[in-house]
Structure 1
Amino acid sequence: MSDKARDIDPERVVVLIPTLNEAAQIEAVLCDLIQDDPVASRCPVIVADGGSDDDTCAIVSKLAERFDNLRLIHNPGKTQAAAMNLLLQPEFDGFDIAVRCDAHAAYPSGYVSGLVHCLVEKDVASVVVPMDAIADSGECFQRGLVWVADSKLGAGGSPHRGGTASGYYDHGHHAAFRMSSFRALGGYDVGFRANEDAEYDMRLICRGDRIWLNADLRIGYFPRRSARRLWKQYWNYGVGRAQTCLKHKVRPGLRQLIPAIHTGLVLLSLLALPVTRVFLLWPLFYGTIILCVGLQIAWRHRSACGLMASLALATMHLAWGMGFLSRLVQGRPSAQMPAQTEKTP
């Protein structure tokens, strides 16, 4: 560890956790983050709640009696982007480093300290981490999804989804930020309900800053437990990616084009049914591939839940593709979209 890392003042670090109905996980998340962490046990840890109607706020308030650095605040914007942008308010001007954590995750011991030290030692604007999908229930769908989520068919080879190599990347799962860069960029664009992190990273890279992916600081991610919730999540991901492409006038990468093209071919097949069935060859080919994947996973894990991997793949691909295409058809963002430099009041 460098001398600069040893000299970090925890009082100039802030941890922020956006929440909305996270009663099932919030206590474990906070305990994992704060306990035995030399930075997180001394710096402000803030839960920004977007209006939970379960016991999330009550649990956090109770834990605040145990951890005197824990604080609960209200996030009127509800989204994760709006929650993080609360750090742009004047009361946080004295902080140099921000750590973003999510409630749908499991964190290793010393996570916050490790991020802060890495940010300082690498002298970068942002540190991102890989996510490993893990099940937090006995739901068969979630187990099948976990077994396929981080594969190339599931995540498209994204380095922060199960990746094992540290290095400089253009994007990853957001973890630690230099507040100087975050302020200079105006934080997240609150017009994004999803993909706000990738859009921020694009602006960060264009500014000349660097992002380091630390593959040694891995978090466990709890994916959705049903196809319906997964569909909504990936629809929003597709919409967010299209928003980013439209806002910055950039073409999507090959990894994003594949599900969009696949979805277009599926829709074309359905539209062409009254005329010809030739186009059904693609859905049949695709269906055969993902069915074989499900069978292979079921055999490997000796569990029929592996067959749910086929449904999970179809849901992710089609939902992302339809969200992306639907937003692309709408065209560039309207004038009502909040500007990237807008601060939450």
Structure 2
Amino acid sequence: MPVLNEERHLAEAVRQVLAQQYEGPIEVVLSIGPSRDRTQEVADAIAAADPRVVVVPNPTGRTPNALNAAIAASRNPIIARVDGHAMLPPDYLATAVETLEQTGADNVGGVMAAEGVTPFEQAVACAMTSKIGVGNARFHTGGQAGPADTVYLGVFRREALERVGGYDEHFQRAQDWEMNHRIRETGGLVFFQPRMRVSYRPRPNARALAKQYFHYGRWRRVVSRTHQGTINLRYLAPPAAVLAMLLGIVVSPFFWPGLLVPGVYLAAILAGSVLTGRGLSAAALLRLPLVYVTMHVSWGTGFLTSPPSLSKPRPARQTALSQNLRGD
């Protein structure tokens, strides 16, 4: 578990891991970043009460560094990535191990089941499980079991992580997609298992959602610069829409039909909100168009403005995990 500022949810998240209906041994490695709350104290108390829990430091506070530190401190041949606020269903690990054995996959993962409490969170959850919001990614929208480009969280064979050198610590975001790409490039199988559903709590307001999706777009472009040929139309749609709407607004003082571009987009969003928002409360439904626009525009803007300075240097990749494996 990479953990940062998770005082509220950490104890319950760890409890649900330790309570898994799984016959094999389980260890939990908490990689704790420099939190602003009592996360460190909570983690230390959990470890003191249960010998299956180990705490390791992550001074950088960055997710890929935390994951590599936790993997290096772990001992078992199967590694499950779990977030500090993730709530696993009781059969999560058993289903994952069964799927690994049946498919021969290197990594299996399931559905990021977004669930909201407030009307805004409920609107985000709806958008994150619809093709209008996130395209056809099965770990968001569900679908049939089978090979996938990437999955949510992930349960890995240790040998696969060692083969690719663990998480690339250059990538502050999109590190899961990037490592799954390397697993597939080295002949491994990434497998989507819809029976593995993990509850996910969406961002609570538009500002936090915009920041999240801006960084998703920004770092997804960094991945595309690093690994040529990894961009498809689904990823290009948001930046293309942002460019088209911006151009339409710029030319509209001289050519009024330019306003048709943002107008058609907004009309499509309103219609899509009505279609996908069935079952939402009136308060959540009213927020759904704002959520769709925030996700699309933030992701597209992040992709378009991703600076070349974020690009990964060309020298050979070296991660904390690969250093540990070599004994550096």
State the TM-score, normalized to the length of structure 2. 0.90
Secondary structure of the corresponding residue to residue 255 of structure 2: coil
Cα distance between partner residues in 2 of 1:114 and 1:39: 12
Cα distance between partner residues in 1 of 2:266 and 2:183: 39
**Correspondence for 1:184:** 163
2:39 alignment partner, one of 44, 53, 56:
56
Pairwise CA distance, 1:43: 2.2
Pairwise CA distance, 1:51: 1.1
Pairwise CA distance, 1:219: 1.0
* Structural mapping, 1:123-272, within 5 Å: 123-135=104-116, 137=117, 139-250=118-229, 252-272=231-251
Pairwise CA distance, 1:237: 0.8
1:290 alignment partner, one of 258, 269, 277:
269
Q: Identity over the aligned pairs, expressed in percent?
A: 26
Moved over 6 A (4+): none
Q: Is the 8 A contact 2:174 2:216 kept in 1?
A: yes
Residue 32 (structure 1) aligned with residue 32 (structure 2) = no
Cα distance between partner residues in 2 of 1:26 and 1:323: 30
Taking a change above 3 Å as real, the CA distance of residues 223 and 338 of structure 1, as seen in their structure-2 partners, is: farther
Pairwise CA distance, 1:314: 0.5
Cα distance between partner residues in 1 of 2:316 and 2:99: 31
**224-233 vs 277-286, greater mean Cα deviation:** 277-286
Taking a change above 3 Å as real, the CA distance of residues 209 and 199 of structure 1, as seen in their structure-2 partners, is: same
Residue 103 (structure 1) aligned with residue 84 (structure 2) = yes
Cα distance between partner residues in 1 of 2:312 and 2:184: 25
Q: Is the 8 A contact 1:187 1:341 kept in 2?
A: no
Secondary structure of the corresponding residue to residue 313 of structure 1: helix
* Structural mapping, 1:42-121, within 5 Å: 42-87=25-70, 89=72, 91-92=73-74, 94-121=75-102
Letter paired with 1:243: V
Cα distance between partner residues in 1 of 2:143 and 2:242: 30
Pairwise CA distance, 1:112: 2.2
**Correspondence for 1:324:** 303
Cα distance between partner residues in 2 of 1:122 and 1:297: 34
Pairwise CA distance, 1:297: 5.7
Cα distance between partner residues in 1 of 2:211 and 2:56: 27
Cα distance between partner residues in 2 of 1:111 and 1:174: 12
Q: Is the 8 A contact 1:298 1:306 kept in 2?
A: yes
Taking a change above 3 Å as real, the CA distance of residues 332 and 28 of structure 1, as seen in their structure-2 partners, is: closer
Secondary structure of the corresponding residue to residue 160 of structure 1: helix
Secondary structure of the corresponding residue to residue 102 of structure 1: coil
Cα distance between partner residues in 2 of 1:234 and 1:293: 20
Cα distance between partner residues in 2 of 1:181 and 1:87: 16
Structure 2: gaps spanning 5 or more residues: 324-328
**Correspondence for 2:279:** 300
State the TM-score, normalized to the length of structure 1. 0.86
Across the two proteins, how many residue pairs are aligned to each other? 322
Cα distance between partner residues in 2 of 1:226 and 1:163: 25
1:98-157 superposed Cα distances (whole Å, 9 cap, x missing partner): 11001233210032233223223322111121111102x3x3211111122210101101
Pairwise CA distance, 1:273: 3.8
* Structural mapping, 1:11-26, within 5 Å: 17-26=1-10
Q: Is the 8 A contact 1:291 1:307 kept in 2?
A: no
1:255-281 superposed Cα distances (whole Å, 9 cap, x missing partner): 111111111112222332443332211
Pairwise CA distance, 1:172: 1.3
Cα distance between partner residues in 2 of 1:88 and 1:132: 25
Secondary structure of the corresponding residue to residue 93 of structure 2: helix
Structure 1: gaps spanning 5 or more residues: 1-16
